[in-house]
Structure 1
Amino acid sequence: MPTTIPIPRPSAAPQPTAAPDSLLEFRNIRVVYDNAIEAVRDVSIAVPEGGIVALLGSNGAGKSTLLKAMSGILYTEEGVIESGSIRFRGEDVHHLAPDELVRRGIVQVPEGRRVFASLTIEENLQMGGYTRSNAAARERRDKVFALFPRLHERRDQIAGYMSGGEQQMLAIGRALMTDPKLLALDEPSLGLAPLIIDRIYEVIVRLRDELKMTVLLVEQNAQRALDIADYGYILETGRVVLDGTARKLAANEDVQEFYLGVSSSGRKSLRDVKHYKRRKRWLS
């Protein structure tokens, strides 16, 4: 498991407050698994409409838990929201079933892609558009093919025989078939080659700029995420420890050192990071 490097919370820093135009808000959320394990503690996050918000943090920081809470699937892992709320377009939605959340416009692409391996690309997309009329589904499919020409070229191919990058494209395309208002992507770059990651991230930017879609991007690859995000939050051990515009976070020395891998003295080794972690200022 990757080493968890805590980022110090700025002194007297208030919890982030939602902007008036926020599409999605997590308000003081606390999530507990199996009545014993606290995964997220008092987290408040605002996702403005039409922007890309990045959730950054090491493995186990609570990023995926927030997405599961948002998507209504915590129950599959014995997780519950013990306090706080999730609001979408000003309404509490944390009590809604997953299918109702999809109909409201909240759609998640989970980590690991999870396509229907025995179905073709075309059939996977049809499954994604089951809540739409036939005409609307065809229109959405054409938009997906325009975003991912490779899927169009191989639309009759069995999904299980596709490369990891192609499966990630298909997973995103299948989510887009629902015509989401908010698209949540959980580790979209995980395990992919750099050229494929470039393509995936180009599409994410197009979703914001051309389709005016709101994107919540969960990543461990902080550099990639901050390159395209408008705003970002850094989570450690279930808490927000730092937030700001993507430019502000990218310029922060601690973020550069522990998430971007560089500092004023150059790139740091894992040994340096572990030594730095033990310094007194990280113990607060």
Structure 2
Amino acid sequence: MLELRNLQVLYDRAIEAVRDVSLSVPDGAMVALLGSNGAGKSTILKAISGVLSQEDGEIVAGSVQFEGESLAGASASDIVRRGIIQVPEGRALFAPLTVEENLLMGGFTRTRAQTRDGIERIYSLFSRVKERRHQIAGYLSGGEQQMVAIGRALMSDPKVLMLDEPSLGLAPQIIDDIFTAVVELNRSSGVTVLLVEQNAQLALEITSQGFIIENGRIVLDGPSDKLRANADVQEFYLGISKGERKSMRDVKHYKRRKRWLS
């Protein structure tokens, strides 16, 4: 189990990005972390991955625990070896390298045999990646790059896969293909998934539990089906009010009336 306990994160020793966040991700589960831009979602993933220092961020209180052990002081590479992998927002591929070279970079902790098996696994999961394995990654479409980024993460055979805005900027059909593959991966291999996503409808459809974060704090959590049925979630995240979809202009005023923050 991946667990955060009363986590507090500061940037530049002054800007509080995450405050007193506690959440748990059970083994084999798919869990959604939802919230608006700047709410603290990506910061939480970076805290788990051990990469906060790259942006002058640090955990100043609380803890991140995995399989009963604290990750305090662990390097990013050590966290990868323990089985936690993040696919960052924007994909961050090695653009000048080929698709297959990018995949090989993801398997740096594995043996040659494990790397070979991992590549075949990715190719069976994403046929488009196999078709473009010799192409330069920087020339791929956004959706293809996202598939390669997920594939690169899977090369290390993770126990926990953290996805940061995987649907951002992608066409609906590509989004469906990617999320279908992630769900199949979870069901067939038991990979735990922590999904950060602004498409709340999609995220709550494929996960079993969700957490909603605002201004660095968890403000609501529960089973995904109950969150979808929650009137506030429908209005403020799904754009639905009394069965009718509201305009974006109306939805943007939700901060004035959030009942769960009162």
TM-score over 0.5 for the alignment?
A: yes
Superposed CA offset, 1:41-75 (max 9, x none):
00001000001000000000100000000000000
Counterpart code for 1:221: N
Q: Give the fraction of aligned pairs with identical amino acids, expressed as a percent.
A: 65
Aligned length: 262
Match of 2:6 in 1: 28
Match of 2:215 in 1: 237
Three-state SS of the structure 1 residue aligned to 2:149 is helix
Q: CA deviation at 1:222?
A: 0.3
Is this contact kept in 2: 1:69–1:94, CA < 8 A? no
Is this contact kept in 1: 2:239–2:248, CA < 8 A? no
Match of 1:226 in 2: 204
Counterpart code for 2:120: D
Does 1:171 find its partner at 2:118?
Answer: no
Match of 2:83 in 1: 105
Q: Which runs of 5+ in 2 are unaligned?
A: none
Superposed CA offset, 1:243-269 (max 9, x none):
000101000010001111111151112
- Say if 1:280 and 1:123 are closer, same or farther in 2 by CA, change over 3 A: closer
Superposed CA offset, 1:85-127 (max 9, x none):
0000000013200000000001000000111111111111111
Counterpart code for 1:208: N
CA distance in 1, matches of 2:243, 2:203: 24
- Say if 1:279 and 1:110 are closer, same or farther in 2 by CA, change over 3 A: closer
CA distance in 2, matches of 1:181, 1:94: 19
Q: CA deviation at 1:154?
A: 1.3
1:48-87 counterparts in 2 under 5 A?
Answer: 48-87=26-65
Match of 1:212 in 2: 190
CA distance in 2, matches of 1:172, 1:123: 14
Is this contact kept in 2: 1:70–1:94, CA < 8 A? no
Three-state SS of the structure 2 residue aligned to 1:113 is coil
Match of 1:151 in 2: 129
Is this contact kept in 1: 2:236–2:254, CA < 8 A? no
TM-score by length of 2: 0.97
CA distance in 1, matches of 2:70, 2:252: 41
Is this contact kept in 1: 2:219–2:260, CA < 8 A? no
Does 1:43 find its partner at 2:43?
Answer: no
TM-score by length of 1: 0.90
Match of 2:70 in 1: 92
Counterpart code for 2:29: G
Match of 2:172 in 1: 194
Q: CA deviation at 1:283?
A: 6.7
Three-state SS of the structure 1 residue aligned to 2:110 is coil
Counterpart code for 2:128: R
Q: CA deviation at 1:272?
A: 2.4
Q: CA deviation at 1:131?
A: 0.7
Counterpart code for 1:113: R
Does 1:130 find its partner at 2:112?
Answer: no
Superposed CA offset, 1:128-183 (max 9, x none):
11110000000011100000011111111110110000000000000000000000
1:238-257 counterparts in 2 under 5 A?
Answer: 238-257=216-235
Counterpart code for 2:116: R
- Say if 1:123 and 1:249 are closer, same or farther in 2 by CA, change over 3 A: same
Task: Pick one of 111, 114, 126 that aligns with 2:92.
Answer: 114
Three-state SS of the structure 2 residue aligned to 1:210 is helix
CA distance in 1, matches of 2:67, 2:54: 26
Q: CA deviation at 1:280?
A: 8.4
